[in-house]
Amino acid sequence: MPTPPPQLNIHRRQSQNQYYEETLAEGVALRMMQIPAGKFLMGSPEDELERSDAEGPQHVVTVPQFFMAKYSVTQAQWRAVAALPRVEQKFDPDPARFKGEDRPVERLSWNDAVEFCDRLTLHTNRQYRLPTEAEWEYACRAGTITPFHFGETLSTAYANYDGSNEEYGTYGPGVRGEWREQTTPIDHFEGVNEYGLSDMHGNVFEWCQDNWRDNYYDAPIDGSAWLSSNESKFYILRGGSWLSFPGYCRSASRGYHEPGDRDYDIGFRVCCSALRTKQATYINPTEKLGGISDAVIELIIAQEEAQEKNILKVQLQQTLISALSQLDRQTQQLLELYYARGVSQRDIAEQMELKQYTVSRRLSKSREKLIAAILKWSQTQLQISLHSEQAGSVSKLLEEWLSIYYSTSR
């Protein structure tokens, strides 16, 4: 009598996490799941099956709250954002090999994915971006410590990967399954992880912000991206794909490609995080700007306490955008990206590859122009007269606030 296959302990979950939907076009929306703040052990233990040295050493990472798309970006979503104004580069509105409105878009480079996020950021006035590698693994694990958020193994009944190979098609106590040889629609499989995310194992690899490194020594422990200008020209890929064996679909498994590479098993999903400021450096404008109208104070700098972090008021965002409109187009575009992505001067110099001029000098000059533009806008549009001492106080406050904001990481 043949021995029956081992009983699998696959955990399927139906999450009730909070989310919002970002409408991209008629009938096309991004569902963004709320990922709670927390700590987790990043990487894999030394005894995990098929582990690589690049997955260690394990280290505790603290991750702030953020939002992540429930699914990889679909072809319908990609096409909607492709119709938005270009930021840095053009991209193909229909690049995928495996066609279908609800299939993940693939054959995308890291640069393409960043362009998508930047267009969406400027269109919505919300900060869309790729996940950091720590955020991706934290969201994938969703509180689990097993190789997959499903448990100790994976099944082709619940994920899209190559489960047919005699030698590598199974993982741990798992059994062989099928190989579909293509992507599947985003809602093909039932069940999500505890954070409400689907297809974190298989279907398409997903780009992250971080540069590749061979291990986690000296890695950030605050959930931020690990970027470098000279150590690596490669960027992180996570999650495995329809083309992968199950061991490459593990929560801790890491891969990489050059930023311009495209392949038919590479896609991405987006994140959105609140604009953040440092609690310890909060400026109370009423203490520094005696005699200035409350309207000016509200429109120049405003802050409110939210659930986890201080979030800039929408009114301030609108004020800065109005001020930016008075700058020349090239400077405006640079500052909008800089403001929206919340990155350091070094990061923007490296990631946007603006080689035609020195970015740090450009930003310094642009900040002076931005302050002047806000002052002029406040006086002319609001018809408020500021004498020289008051204008100097406002300029000092703006300079201090912009320095704080520009030096604050995501």
123-147: pLDDT as tens digits: 888 889 999 999 999 999 999 999 9
Question: Which residue in 326, 335, 325, 298 sits closest to 121, CA to CA?
Answer: 335
Mean pLDDT of 364-373: 57
Question: Which residue in 285, 343, 308, 292 sits closest to 118, CA to CA?
Answer: 343
Residues facing residue 70 across a β-bridge: none
Q: Which band of pLDDT confidence, cut at 50, 70 and 90, is reported for residue 295?
A: very low
For residue 397, is pLDDT > 60?
no
Report how far residue 80's alpha carbon sits from residue 122's, in angstroms, rounded to the nearest whole number.
14
Helices (H), 125-195: 133-141
Hunting for tokens 């422990």 — which residue is that? 221
For residue 192, is pLDDT > 70?
yes
For residue 355, is pLDDT > 90?
no
CATH number of this structure's domain 19-272, picked from the four choices 3.30.1330.40, 3.40.50.970, 1.10.3720.10, 3.90.1580.10: 3.90.1580.10
Report how far residue 323's alpha carbon sits from residue 337's, in angstroms, rounded to the nearest whole number.
15
Phi, psi for 221 (deg, rounded to 5): -120, 15
Question: Which residue in 200, 279, 205, 275 sits closest to 240, CA to CA?
Answer: 205
- What is the reported pLDDT for 67? 94
- What is the reported pLDDT for 360? 39
What percent of the chain has pLDDT above 70?
A: 62
**Identity (one letter) of the amino acid at 377?**
W
For residue 338, is pLDDT > 70?
no
329-357 b/e (C-beta count within 10 Å ≥ 16 → b): eebbbbbbbbbbbbbebebbbbbbebeee
202-239: pLDDT as tens digits: 999 999 999 999 999 999 999 999 987 665 689 999 99
Mean pLDDT of 328-339: 50
150-181: pLDDT as tens digits: 999 999 999 999 999 989 999 999 999 999 99
List, edge to edge, every strand of the sheet that includes 28-35.
Answer: 19-25, 28-35, 66-69, 271-272, 128-129
Domain(s) of CATH 3.90.1580.10: residues in the chain: 19-272
Ranges 21-30, 277-286, 304-313: which has the least confidence: 277-286
Hey, CA dihedral for 346, 347, 353, 359, is it positive or negative? negative
- What is the reported pLDDT for 227? 87
Report how far residue 292's alpha carbon sits from residue 230's, in angstroms, rounded to the nearest whole number.
47
Mean pLDDT of 250-279: 83
Mean pLDDT of 110-123: 93
Contact 71, 186 (CB under 8 A): yes
Q: Show Cβ contacts of residue 346 under 8 Å, excluding neighbours closer than 6 positions.
A: 229
Contact 161, 154 (CB under 8 A): yes
Q: Report the 3 state secondary structure along 226-290.
A: CCCCCCCCCEEEECCCCCCCHHHHCCCCEEEECCCCCCCCEECCCEECCCCCCHHHCCCHHHHCC
